[in-house]
Amino acid sequence: MKLLTVRPTYGRAVAAMILSAACWGLATVASKGVLDYVPPFSLLVGQLGASVLFLWCVLLLLGRLPRFDRAARRASLAGLLEPGLAYAFGVYGLTLTSASNTSLIGTTEPLIILVIAWIFLGQRTGIQGVLAILTAMVGVVLVSVFGGEEGLRSSSSILGDGLEVLATGFAALYVIVTSRLVVQFSPVTLAALQQSVGLVFACTVWMVAVGFGAEELPSTLSPFVLLVVILSGIVQYAGAFWFYLYGLQVLPASFAGIFLALIPVFGITGATLFLGEGLSLVQLGGCLMVILAVIWFTRSRPVVQGDAAHTHLKPTEVTYE
């Protein structure tokens, strides 16, 4: 627990980013399985509720309950982007497409983050980073367009993929905004504040969906399904965001984004093992391309002039070896 409350070294930041990708990828598989028993927005509220309760209990045990001052309130608003809008679109899109496609579409997030960080933060990744991300994108195309055993895409699958693309865009904006907040708050505090706002947003969407008859309350839930909802919520929200924000304290947003490309590696493996979704040779080759691209990119370790924290520096002072 102590390792996740102190400033990380570069190695620990990288390890935390990999763990966050594992949490997101595997929890996506669990969410896909639970959607057979729980409607999407009910699932979102249940998972977020479990995560928020877990995070605030951790803060209480650590004796680090934050003050709700102006800075805390402003920081919490980023939760409207993610998990708010990102997961509202994402969890509904997951009902229309496969867990593998959901994980793989999320691989576009590093490219979106790279572009936004370059335009608004002035963070330049360099030719190696750009080529690595483009290589990962080729892998995504191989898996999501030419891979699989389903043949032609159905209209519902296309709509689901479109919703996942929107969700990915909101998630990328969240990373950019939050990269400026990690210097002010600890990862667990920031996650708790933002997810509390996200939970309020999710509850609002859920009530509207139920009120208009777009979603029905589940009549009964088995103890096993309820347990999966709780555990997947803690892993997908509390664990994944905690790890990611921990690493973001050291790694620039344009650099940290590449680790999100590992999500499909965990997601497609979990979908194959636990959901029985097909894995073609083309999909396997695409995943290997993504893995190699991430390894190649991480070799260009960020070099920060002066303080190790990129958030203390001007955007142009973040460079790469």
pTM above 0.85, yes or no: no
Mean pLDDT computed over 16-39: 89
- Between residues 242 and 132, which one has the greater pLDDT? 242
Mean pLDDT computed over 27-53: 91
2-12 pLDDT, tens digit per residue, is 555 567 888 88
For residue 200, what pLDDT is reported?
97
Cβ neighbours of residue 273 under 8 Å, at least 6 residues apart? none
Give me the DSSP letters along 205-219: HHHHHHHTTSS---S
Domain residue ranges of the chain, discontinuous segments joined by +: 7-119+152-275
Instruction: Say if residue 32's pLDDT is above 60.
Output: yes
Whole-angstrom distance, CA of residue 262 vs CA of residue 133:
12
Mean pLDDT of the chain: 82
Q: How many CA atoms lie within 13 A of 124 on its CB side?
A: 6
Q: How many CA atoms lie within 13 A of 144 on its CB side?
A: 29
For residue 290, what pLDDT is reported?
81
159-211 pLDDT, tens digit per residue, is 888 898 899 999 999 999 998 899 889 999 999 999 999 999 999 999 999 99
Instruction: Say if residue 151's pLDDT is above 60.
Output: no
Helix then strand then coil, in percent of the chain rounded to 5, is 75, 0, 25
Whole-angstrom distance, CA of residue 222 vs CA of residue 17:
34
- Between residues 144 and 84, which one has the greater pLDDT? 84
